[in-house]
Amino acid sequence: MQKIKVVLVSNDTEYINLFESYLMDNEYNNKLLVEIFHDFNKMNESVKNSNHNILLSELYPTDEELQNMEKVFDRVVLLTENKQGFEEEIFKYQPFDNIVETLLMYYYDNDGRLLESKNERNTSTIAFASGNGGTGKTLLSLMLGKVLSKHSQKVFYLSLEQMLSASSYLESDKPKSSEIFYFLKDNPYRLLSKFHKLKDTDAATGIDFFPVNINFDEIDSLNTLDIENLVKTITSLNEYDFLIIDMDSRLCEINSEILRLSNEIFWILESNETSFMKTKAIMEMDGLQQEIDNKKIHYIVNKFGENLFADNGEYNFNIESKIKFNPEWLNYNEKEKVLEDSEIGSELLKSLSRISLAMEVSDEK
């Protein structure tokens, strides 16, 4: 179920603590997601690249602030102790149940059905996988993400590799943190409420991501329920068009879970037979061929030379694209490769025929 996303801004610490305690355990948890800020400027910085439903603010916004907030929120509501003459106001000192019910009335009809929001997006999950390391999987996933972002699609990149390499490609103004793993293990609802404080946006590509510390143990401690909760947290926001998951190349339960949860899978191969053999072994050992619709798997050969090895047809992989090796890239760092690319991301996009066609029509307009 989509949750109504509310941002509360107040410098009344006691009131905020009471409201937060109330939200942790009540019947509205499945309908409402509330983020709390003490400072208007910090809130503005956190939400500027995202979409929310309601801003509930005790701090009266200036005309300029109000104009900026209307680009992010469906509606701005003032939390008041007395009438301020604002377009929409809610009295502060009333039972929290009453405040929450008033907020929900904006989005639920009399029969309890969720009304449509202008900010609602249906998130498609795309996994990038490979049978061995060093295939260029991360580079290709971000090249696709950049193309999608350039076409006004909101993209979240999630790295679940044991050795996180996102910092080589994406830049953050926020300090790196491992809080995502704490909240995921402690209380997934808290992760949902802290999401916008934990994520950042790479200015060069427009891709959102978690700036996390590299920590082998924390990635290794994740189980299938953690993965399901993490994916559902991001997709339930209804804020992103695409969630791109950069998977580790290990054969394990959490990777199998990612593949099952994904709408599309890019499986990256190298030109040699070893890469094909490992992929076949993974598919057969984990029973994925029976559980996953083969139509959503897109086999891509990266670093392609002149020819594939002999007898490659015996593996029955429908190769959708062959990305040629570019020797000039040996002189580029990883981020430069993503930014300089003008072809590979678009080539990968062709595998997502429905999405690619829609973008072509949009470009023609």
| Domain CATH number, residue 218 | 3.40.50.300
Give the β-pairing of 52-57 and 4-9: parallel
State percent of the chain over pLDDT 70: 87
- Banded pLDDT at 115 (limits 50, 70, 90): low
Q: How far apart are CA 52 and CA 69, in angstroms?
A: 10
Q: Per the domain annotation, does 265 fall within a domain?
A: yes
Q: How far apart are CA 53 and CA 75, in angstroms?
A: 7
List CB contacts of 240: < 8 A, sequence separation 6 or more.
121, 123, 154, 155, 156, 208, 234
Q: How far apart are CA 160 and CA 207, in angstroms?
A: 16
Q: Which domain holds residue 27?
A: 4-105
Return the pLDDT at 153. 92
CA torsion sign for 186, 191, 193, 196 is positive
Same domain, 130 and 98: no
Q: How big is the chain, counted in residues? A: 365
Q: Looking at the predicted structure, is the pLDDT value of residue 32 above 90? A: no
The DSSP secondary-structure symbol of 265 reads: E
Q: Looking at the predicted structure, is the pLDDT value of residue 155 above 70? A: yes
Tally the C-alpha atoms within 13 A of residue 277's C-alpha that lie toward its C-beta: 5
Same domain, 54 and 173: no
Same domain, 324 and 205: yes
Q: How far apart are CA 203 and CA 170, in angstroms?
A: 8
Q: How far apart are CA 327 and CA 175, in angstroms?
A: 35
Region 61-80: what's the mean pLDDT? 86
**Domain containing 80 — which CATH number?**
3.40.50.10850
- Banded pLDDT at 179 (limits 50, 70, 90): confident
Same domain, 230 and 346: yes
Apex CA 16: angle with CA 47 and CA 174, to 5°? 35
Region 196-214: what's the mean pLDDT? 89
Same domain, 160 and 220: yes
Return the pLDDT at 83. 78
- Banded pLDDT at 111 (limits 50, 70, 90): low
The tally of domains found in the chain comes to: 2
CA torsion angle for 269, 272, 278, 284 (degrees, to 10)?
80
Q: Per the domain annotation, does 113 fall within a domain?
A: no
Q: Looking at the predicted structure, is the pLDDT value of residue 313 above 80? A: yes
Q: Per the domain annotation, does 116 fall within a domain?
A: no
Residue written as token pair 């002189």: 331
Q: Looking at the predicted structure, is the pLDDT value of residue 86 above 60? A: yes
- Banded pLDDT at 236 (limits 50, 70, 90): confident
Return the pLDDT at 215. 67
CB neighbour burial string for 172-211, b if at least 16 within 10 angstroms, e if fewer: beeeeeebbbebbeeebbebbbbbbbbbbbbeebbbbbbb
Apex CA 41: angle with CA 19 and CA 172, to 5°? 105
Return the pLDDT at 168. 79
- Give the model confidence (pLDDT) of 325-356 as tens digits: 988 888 999 899 999 998 999 999 988 865 54
Same domain, 39 and 182: no
